Structure 1
Amino acid sequence: MDDKTLRQEVLNELEYEPGLDAEHIGVAVERGVVMLSGHVNSYHEKMLTEETVQRVKGVKGIAEEIEVRYPFEKKTADDQIAERAVNVLTWDVRVPEDHIMIKVERGWVTLSGEVDWHYQRLAAADAVRKLGGVVGVNNRVTVKRRASSGDVKRKIEESLKRSAEMEAKAIEVSVSEGRVTLGGHVNAWYERRLAERAAWSAPGVAVVEDHIKVG
């Protein structure tokens, strides 16, 4: 697919996503790499824009420079954001209670602490990023190491084989002390994301390094 066609596909997908107002989002494409610019009304929309573009077949990479501009320059004090973040994490059943620490500085939320599963780490960031006044989230929450490297590697490879959307043989997996390294190649960006998800879903995975090539 040439860059002009891919750009139109990306624009179409952004317009199709009901959670986005794509009017102020700029899109440029060079050799399969999508460059996003402009502004959105919340950090949640900023992340949703990236996720939407990743779904488009032919996207090999994303360079994102989208700004968060709240309507009418509405701003929320850091202490208010912190209080709301504590509440929303307390209410979220996916996040273990009293495992996450929160720091807010100029709208940037930093999460720290330790959890048992990667999905809990993601759930914490997902809950906080939807709060008004948040301009960014720095997720420093770590995952406890619980399984041997051999067990982790086997579980990831089995998960890849079960996926009907990708060719597992094209992906290389190596594991060392909770760190997973992915290599090989896939045909589309979303396949790369599926491989990452499979790696993160294994128990005890603390870090995933994705070196999979697209195309």
Structure 2
Amino acid sequence: MKTDNQLQHDVMAELEWDPRVDHADIGVAVNEGVVTLTGYVKSYPEKMAAERAARRVAGVKAIAEEIKVRFASDPKTADHEIAKRILDLFAWHVSIPQDRVKLTVERGWVTLTGDVDWFYQKEEAAKSAGRITGVLGISNLIEVKKLPVAADVKERIMAAFRRQANLDASSVTVVTEGSTVRLGGMVKAWNERGVAERAAWAAPGVNKVEDDIIVAF
């Protein structure tokens, strides 16, 4: 008696062998001899051919056929097509280190993993993936590896303040703990607090900013 793994292998081989079936977009799952076919084909006859191919395999007890017919003009939203389009987009994006960002797609849901040096790279990867047709959601599990240095964060805040008139960063305090930056102290206006927070996010390795700066009117 065949195991489910053996049966899955045989069904996939039969689909690949049948010239009437383009097996690239067809998924095969087996549970106690019951075969589930999923994915896309280009026509109804191809759909029927795929089902007949699966039935020919010895050991198949039943078939749950969930294949959809998708015409050439329809959007390409199969999981492997979504993954390919995201990877192509990453390859053209200078802000995303494609060799360090990995992805998986399951039923339209994208999971991003890997590591980067900057928080904006993590954000940009998720934004770019979200632009692809067929993406239903994103789990951004990319880690920001390089740890922030308090002096570096403080300098970025002061540099951001210097670029704008009448802003003083001397009263802003910066404490780092791992990849978390805590901002404290006092500023004169809400926009100064916003400038400080954005500057902190721009530092390498920052995964979280806790803004406790007080605005003194």
Please, what TM-score do these two structures have when normalized by structure 1? 0.51
Name the SS for the 1:180 alignment partner: strand
Say whether residues 1:182 and 2:214 are aligned partners: no
User: Partner of 1:123: helix, strand, or coil?
Assistant: helix
Cα deviation 1:4-40 (Å, max 9, x = unaligned): xxxxxxxxxxxxxxxxxxxxxxxxxxxxxxxxxxxxx
Q: CA deviation at 1:76?
A: 2.4
C-alpha distance 125-154 of structure 1, shift in aligned 2 (>3 A): same
Which consecutive aligned stretches of 4+ in structure 1 deviate over 6 angstroms post-superposition? Answer: none
Q: Which segment is superposed worse, 194-203 or 204-213?
A: 204-213
Cα distance per residue 1:16-72 (max 9 Å; x no partner): xxxxxxxxxxxxxxxxxxxxxxxxxxxxxxxxxxxxxxxxxxxxxxxxxxxxxxxxx
Distance 2:143 2:154 in 1: 22
TM-aligned CA deviation for residue 144 of structure 1: 2.1
Greater CA drift, 102-111 or 163-172: 163-172
Cα distance 1:91–1:153, how it changes in 2: closer, same or farther (>3 A)? closer
TM-superposed CA distance for 1:100, in Å, is 0.5
Structure 1 residue aligned with 2:82: 81
Higher relative CO (Cα under 8 Å, sequence separation at least 6) belongs to: 1
AA aligned opposite 2:106: E
Map 1:51-70 onto structure 2 (within 5 A). none
Aligned to 2:105: 104
In structure 2, relative to structure 1, the CA distance for the partners of 1:170 and 1:208 (3 Å cut) is same
Aligned partners of 2:116 and 2:145 also within 8 Å: yes
SS at match of 1:94: coil
Q: Distance in 1 between matches of 2:138 and 2:112?
A: 8
The Cα shift of 1:77 comes to: 2.7
In the alignment, the residues of structure 1 paired with residue 145 and residue 196 of structure 2 have an alpha-carbon distance, to the nearest angstrom, of 21
- 1:96-135 to structure 2, matched below 5 A, reads 96-135=97-136
1:60 aligned residue: none
Q: 1:152, 1:175 within 8 Å by CA — same for their partners in 2?
A: no
Following TM superposition, by how much is the alpha carbon of 1:88 offset from its aligned partner in structure 2, in angstroms? 0.9
2:93 counterpart of 1:92: yes
For the 8 Å contact 2:181–2:200, the answer to whether it is kept is: yes
Consecutive unaligned residues in structure 2, runs of 5 or more: 1-74
Q: Give the letter aligned to residue 152 of structure 2.
A: V
CA contact (8 A) 2:153 2:199 kept: no
Structure 1 runs not aligned, ≥5 long:
1-73
CA RMSD of aligned residues (A): 3.2
For the residue of structure 2 that corresponds to 1:111, the secondary structure is strand
- The residue number in structure 2 matching 1:138 is 139
Partner of 2:151: 151
CA offset digits 1:97-131 (Å, max 9, x no partner): 31101122343322111112223222212211111
